Chain A
């Protein structure tokens, strides 16, 4: 608990995040560069799908992060509700737009891949539909948080909604196993060895890690700017009061 509250001090958080941020950004650029080079240029084309398989190196990590962002939002929301951790609210709120973008990228790249492979931009299969629902959950959350005049109320309501909506995440994860649909089943996270050749797995995992770091970089940037925004607001109010008196 003491560890948890160590970072609750915004000033301390700002200082620490300023230290971490450049290194995190550098690592993201390096990883994504390597991953993109290996994935787009160095890895072999698929024996069935040809060159279009390279869409996977963006599609799969963004789909992972679409679910990951929502889960981290739900965890942060639970922390905000239980311990009233002031930064947890910010993390949950600032994760939502990033997660919505990852979801949109996953849906768009999936459509681009589906057109040559399945012969259609979109099918109503379980995986695609549940990811679309996830996108709407993100939009609903963002709309709810911004719909209150009192930001504190918006944060609380959003936290409850994020926890309720989390139920969709296991549905997405297992939709390909529970329903026999067009989308292929999981080929990386399996109990036995992944059903994918190392030449393709390495860039995929590199890209996955790069997307995770990208999320952290964007999140830190967003939370830092929110804190600055608040400080500006407080300073401006103080100025107004000075003028008033």
Chain B
């Protein structure tokens, strides 16, 4: 069972990564949206360096949330439409593992690119240098939670009308804690306070979401294909 679990996990992960790789535009689209959205802020609030430095952490986090929402529909939707989701659900691989593999693939193709793009945006938005390490650490801990929460939203809205808009409405309220502590970590680092408490809370959110979200998502998937 454990060998099967790991093998199946790797197979699903590899498949999703290959699929994402061959349609590379999807990944670029998400990162493009992330960068473009954040770049709109200097135009909107004015190019004053102090104002931008003050809001940079928040802007980057909010844009990361929105960009992650944009990519959630490809988590299960395509598999649901072409019927492969039913086969995956019927496979001997525990469904929770499968969701976890899909979340990991989603994080590698959205969370990680966002994480890599964040420091570039931080330079553009004039974030003080002290905040960089905290921003990257907070996003490294927070974006996997977004993928996990997003999997629940994507799973419950499978087969719904206008599910793309719906997912954002369902998932964004649940991501508020991640946003709060993620921004708090950056602000603390910029202000010269310890960032550890905020990062630990982000880690706690991640660790709580790690077993619970795949469980909830697999319950929803089962109902979706039944």
Contacts and interface: CB of A to CB of B under 8 A. Distances in A.
Interface of A: 81, 129, 133, 136-137, 139-140, 143-144, 147-149, 153-154, 156-158, 160-161, 163-165, 167-168, 171
17 contacts: A81-B219, A129-B176, A133-B176, A136-B169, A136-B172, A137-B173, A140-B166, A143-B170, A147-B163, A147-B166, A149-B161, A153-B159, A153-B223, A156-B220, A160-B216, A164-B152, A164-B212
Contact of A157 (B162, B174, B223): B223
A156 B226 CA distance: 11
Given A156-B223, A160-B219, A160-B223, A140 B173 contact: yes
A182 to B, nearest CB: 16
A158 B223 CA distance: 11
Contacts of A129: 176
Given A129-B176, A160-B152, A148 B160 contact: yes
B166 A136 contact: no
B156 interface: yes
A128 B156 CA distance: 27
Given A147-B166, A153-B159, A133 B223 contact: no
Q: What is the predominant secondary structure among interface residues of chain B facing chain A?
A: helix
A149 B162 CA distance: 12
B100 to A, nearest CB: 16
Give 9 nearest A-B pairs by CB, closest first.
Answer: A147-B160, A156-B223, A157-B156, A136-B173, A140-B170, A160-B220, A133-B173, A140-B169, A161-B156
Given A156-B223, A160-B152, A163-B216, A144 B176 contact: no
Contacts of A147: 157, 160-163, 166
Q: What is the predominant secondary structure among interface residues of chain A facing chain B?
A: helix
Nearest to A155: B223
- Residue among A133, A143, A160, A168 having the largest count of chain B Cβ atoms under 10 Å: A160
A133 B170 CA distance: 11
B27 interface: no
B224 interface: yes
B193 to A, nearest CB: 16
Nearest to A150: B159
A154 B166 CA distance: 13
Nearest to A162: B156
B223 A161 contact: no
Contacts of A158: 156
Interface string B201-226: 00000000000110010011001100
A143 B216 contact: no
Nearest to B208: A167
B216 A157 contact: no
Contacts of B159: 148, 153
